[in-house]
Amino acid sequence: MNPELPRPPLPRRNTVVIILVVFLVIAGARFVANFAIEYQWWKEMEQVPTWVDMLVYSIAPLTLATLLAFVVFWLAHLAALRFARVSRTGRKTYMLVSTLALLLIAWILASATIESWTVVRYFGGRGLPAEASGWRDTVFGLPLRFYLFELPFYNLLRRYLLALAVLAVLIYWAVARGWQLIRQLPVMQETGQIDPRLFRLEGGLESRFLRVLVAVGLLALSLSFFLGRYAMLLDDHGFMVGVDYVADKITLPLQWVVIAACLISAAATLAGRWKVLIVLAAALILRAAVPPLVTAVYVKPNEISIQRPYIQTHIQATRSAFGLDRRAKEIEFNASLETRIDVNRHRPLLDNVRLWDWRAFHDTTTQIQALRPYYVFADTDVDRYIIDGRLRQVLLTPRELDIRQLTEARARWINPHFIYTHGYGMVMAEANQITAEGLPVLFVQDAPPQIKAAGLKLTRPEIYYGEVVHEPVFVHTAQKEFSYPSGSDNVFSSYQGRGGFPVSSLLMRLAAAISRGDYNILLTTYLTPQSRMMIRRNVRARLAALANFISWDPDPYLVLTDEGRLVWTVDGYTTSTAHPYSSSISLGNLGSVNYMRNSVKATIDAYDGTTRLYIFDPSDPIILAYQRIFPELFQPASAMPRDLRMHARYPETFFRVQAEMYRTFHMLDPQAFYNKEDLWDIARNVQGQDTRPTQVTPTYVVATLPGSDEPEFLLILPFTPRNKDNMIGLMVARCDGEHLGELLFLQLSKQELIFGPMQIEARINQDQVISKDLSLWNQQGSQVLRGQMLVLPVEDTFLYVEAIYIQAAEARMPQLKKVVLAMGNSLIYEDTYQQAVAQLARLSSQPGAPPAQRQTSETAPAAGFAQPAAAEAETRLERIRQHLERYRQLTGQGRLAEAGKELEAIDAELRRR
């Protein structure tokens, strides 16, 4: 009997195959699982057709470009083999490897040059009416859609064709010379030398195929210069963007010279006459040398007069690109230092002045309404509601659950996924009311919600979708969910909505486990046949997954509907870098853009995640193109429910961008614009604990517009001249009803000094009583916080409002301590807003109220006050006039310390008996 022989070791190749198979199985399982979860999520969103369209649009352009490039490369490869007289017979391995290599090169080329969304936007924008935006360029007379959709697509094609031609030439040359080199190896081994003729390019022109490729490259180059004519409308010259005098009169004609040279060279190359390429070189040198010469010799000495019409076009185009000329009106507002207004007439405005700065409100609410450490108030929003039949300005903030605050509970897998699944309720307060303790007066508070205002109700306080969330969570399970604390106990409930998607089957649980990398999902016994899984609960992440081609506002705001549901509203923007003649602005993560529209508003139900997208700017060609591509994704603004539409507003992010552009582009005169002689700044003020001036932020207010007695919800921002503090303009955005989206620019007279926020701040700081109070509070273990100053237009003057809070150094719970009102030259300083308004009413009722005097209830003028002699009165009045004129000059120059001394002199004159 023969002894048993040892088994041979498993070949190494089999081991590699096994590892590869295991890897493919794992990767395939993850792909299938992710695909299944994605499908279920899009099904939950009722947008499966949109998802399919997105998949097709993202894959099809890249696939077609890869296949086309592969065919061209394969033909170049075959032509090279024929040129080198190499047969494919008997070279299966080489042909397989070369085919895979060519396919890889084709994919790399397509990935580097093809941007799928550019292709998609091109087909979506085809056929849009030119009147969609109403804008045409002044050089070629083309509509905006050409620059937004068609030109980027043509540039993409040009890059692709040029790269395709260059790579095909390189592949042809490398393969042909490579095989020739292989054939010469025996000779090289004998002689020890390489035949240099193998590396000469001239001989390549013997190949008709190679000549065709070179001609294609030259045609692509001519296309580059042809399209470059349109790209010149985006050239930045420093003082303007777009086609200037030199580009219009010199460079554009020279572009045609280069294009003609490219076409002649292409024809000569096909005929094998490569020396004609010298013509192209000469044209390129001419194109590069002549424009700078003309600029230096002729344009620079006469720049303002020569460039005037081009600067005018630049100004108009930039204003159009950022919506500064659409539904916008510039008004000469002849404001004065008037100190008298009809208080009764403006009672609706005065009753809605916002006293609570959102920062102070946030800190106070966190202290009195968080209820438990795991509840957070991530954001505070300002809005308006009809309460007791009147328009009331309110602040509101949702009470969300932050699982990160539950360190031990978070460590147990069941808690974040089944128990602590949602936030609960909200806090709403009237914007201008305070309690006797200096705290906000709450309309909605506590858990369960306590409603203290007629007309409000909250029937679904649970917040499953918000800004502070974790995922995934599971609902309709065997485990009750935590709702809110009640004394020393907790109240639990079960989900009653339709949010999420089913994970009841074993396959879906397996898919969820693989997709999330969490196999507890597969093993848990808490899931039932009715269980559902919620993902993408963050409202911005949800919208980014649904429509990532729209830029979403970083600040969603919450709305309490008439039915008592909580619904998030998020503004969406379409942007571009392709608007001709328009200046660019940097938007942080969004990069630099020169076109922006607030085209979309999205709503997300905080309970079940129902998401809707509404088009609010049908004149925007970009959103119209997307609507044609994804018809089921968007609805018209008219389809938004009425109660949500009532809370739509002008977005602060877009308003900031427009304000930044308006600082420069309010100048309509080309010469003033060229010299930058009237630049503006956003006004500054002092707020919080920081005594350093900071830019005023756009503020939502309920106020009246000049010429109207009807209060409305507005977004406002004041401007000052560059490096000065007096106010020069006020930007106002309207938010209500049919006026939503309208802009007003109140431009103040340059001959009349109107105080800016920092000048009012200086008067507050220089007032002896106020300054003493602020210093005293800061020295008693407390901290003084100053709210942002509000600047409200009233009749033909401005009312300035600043709230002053104090908080203990060891606890952040601001309490409103004082209110400062300023109007004209009067400063009112009171304990409560009601007292300040009453003092304003008394001041307004007195004819000829003295200027530059701080008014309090204790210093109100008494009846029977003895009058000085006429001569003495006239002398004192003249001195006051002189001090006041000096004060205006100093404040206009930004010399606030010296201006304060003039105020003290005025105050001393007024106090003399």
| pLDDT attached to residue 859 | 45
- Residue 182 sits in the same domain as residue 315: no
Mean pLDDT of 562-584: 96
- Residue 190 sits in the same domain as residue 249: no
Mean pLDDT of 805-812: 81
| pLDDT attached to residue 807 | 86
pLDDT higher than threshold 80 for residue 195: no
pLDDT higher than threshold 70 for residue 272: yes
| pLDDT attached to residue 20 | 74
Mean pLDDT of 667-679: 93
Task: Please write the tens of the pLDDT for every residue from 504-525.
Answer: 899 999 999 999 999 999 999 9
Task: Please write the tens of the pLDDT for every residue from 813-843.
Answer: 889 999 999 998 889 999 999 999 999 888 8
pLDDT higher than threshold 50 for residue 869: no
- In 295-371, alpha helices (H): 303-321, 347-350, 358-369
| pLDDT attached to residue 591 | 82
Residue 445 resides in a domain: no
Percent of residues, the chain, with pLDDT higher than 90? 58
Residue with tokens 């020295």: 779
Question: Phi, psi at residue 396, to the nearest 5°?
Answer: -140, 150
Task: Please write the tens of the pLDDT for every residue from 417-476.
Answer: 999 999 999 999 999 888 888 899 999 999 999 999 888 999 999 999 999 999 899 999
| pLDDT attached to residue 199 | 54
CA dihedral sign, ordered 87, 93, 98, 99 = positive
- Residue 868 sits in the same domain as residue 898: yes
Nearest to 385 by CA among 451, 295, 338, 321: 451
Residue 500 resides in a domain: no
- Residue 78 sits in the same domain as residue 211: yes
- Residue 169 sits in the same domain as residue 247: no
Identify the band that residue 665 occupies on the pLDDT scale cut at 50, 70 and 90: very high
Identify the band that residue 870 occupies on the pLDDT scale cut at 50, 70 and 90: very low
Q: Compare 623 and 888 and report the one with higher pLDDT.
A: 623
What pTM was estimated for this model as a whole?
Answer: 0.86
Q: From start to end of 617-663, where are the E strands?
A: 634-636
What residues are paired with 533 via a beta bridge? 474, 501
- Residue 176 sits in the same domain as residue 257: no
Mean pLDDT of 657-673: 95
Percent of residues, the chain, with pLDDT higher than 70? 87
What is the SS3 assignment for 696? coil
Alpha-carbon gap, residue 832 to 847, rounded angstroms: 25
Q: Compare 147 and 211 and report the one with higher pLDDT.
A: 147
Q: What is each CA distance from 690 to 685, 785, 822, in whole angstroms?
A: 10, 8, 21
Lowest mean pLDDT among 87-96, 574-583, 608-617: 87-96
Task: Please write the tens of the pLDDT for every residue from 732-751.
Answer: 999 999 999 999 999 998 88
- In sequence order, the 6+-apart residues with CB closer than 8 A to the CB of 421 are 464, 473, 474, 475, 481, 482, 495, 534
Residue 255 resides in a domain: yes
| pLDDT attached to residue 821 | 94
Could you give the number of structural domains in the chain? 4
8 A C-beta contact, residue 824 and residue 817? no
- Residue 316 sits in the same domain as residue 203: no
Mean pLDDT of 400-429: 89
Task: Please write the tens of the pLDDT for every residue from 5-51.
Answer: 555 555 566 777 777 777 777 778 899 999 999 999 999 999 999 99
| pLDDT attached to residue 774 | 86
Residue 795 resides in a domain: no
What residues are paired with 791 via a beta bridge? 800
- Residue 554 sits in the same domain as residue 612: yes
| pLDDT attached to residue 900 | 61
- Residue 64 sits in the same domain as residue 178: yes
Mean pLDDT score of the chain: 87
Q: Compare 808 and 658 and report the one with higher pLDDT.
A: 658
Nearest to 601 by CA among 610, 614, 587, 590: 614
Alpha-carbon gap, residue 856 to 293, rounded angstroms: 70
Q: What is each CA distance from 47 to 42, 167, 544, in whole angstroms?
A: 5, 41, 14
Residue 279 resides in a domain: yes
- Residue 65 sits in the same domain as residue 196: yes
- In sequence order, the 6+-apart residues with CB closer than 8 A to the CB of 643 are 559, 561, 562, 563
Domain stops at, among 272, 290, 321: 321
Question: Residue 613 belongs to what domain range?
Answer: 538-648
| pLDDT attached to residue 26 | 78
Lowest mean pLDDT among 252-266, 533-547, 898-912: 898-912
Mean pLDDT of 143-150: 93
Q: Compare 885 and 463 and report the one with higher pLDDT.
A: 463
| pLDDT attached to residue 17 | 73
Task: Please write the tens of the pLDDT for every residue from 354-398.
Answer: 999 888 999 999 989 988 889 999 999 999 999 988 889 999 999
Nearest to 368 by CA among 306, 419, 442: 442
- Residue 277 sits in the same domain as residue 204: no
| pLDDT attached to residue 342 | 83
Alpha-carbon gap, residue 82 to 262, rounded angstroms: 29
Q: Compare 902 and 718 and report the one with higher pLDDT.
A: 718
Q: What is each CA distance from 442 to 354, 431, 435, in whole angstroms?
A: 14, 10, 10
Q: Compare 669 and 197 and report the one with higher pLDDT.
A: 669
- Residue 543 sits in the same domain as residue 630: yes
Residue 254 resides in a domain: yes
Residue 420 is classified by DSSP as: S
Residue 338 resides in a domain: no
Strongest mean pLDDT among 71-80, 202-211, 652-661, 842-851: 652-661
| pLDDT attached to residue 219 | 87
Tell me the DSSP string of 546-590. H-TTSEEPS--EEEE-TTSBEEEEEEEEEEES--TT---EE-GGG
Domain stops at, among 598, 629, 648: 648
Residue 910 resides in a domain: yes
pLDDT higher than threshold 90 for residue 538: yes
Domain stops at, among 624, 648, 672: 648
Mean pLDDT of 471-488: 93
Task: Please write the tens of the pLDDT for every residue from 307-340.
Answer: 999 999 999 999 999 999 888 888 888 877 777 7
Task: Please write the tens of the pLDDT for every residue from 690-706.
Answer: 778 889 999 999 988 88
pLDDT higher than threshold 60 for residue 845: yes
Mean pLDDT of 661-667: 95
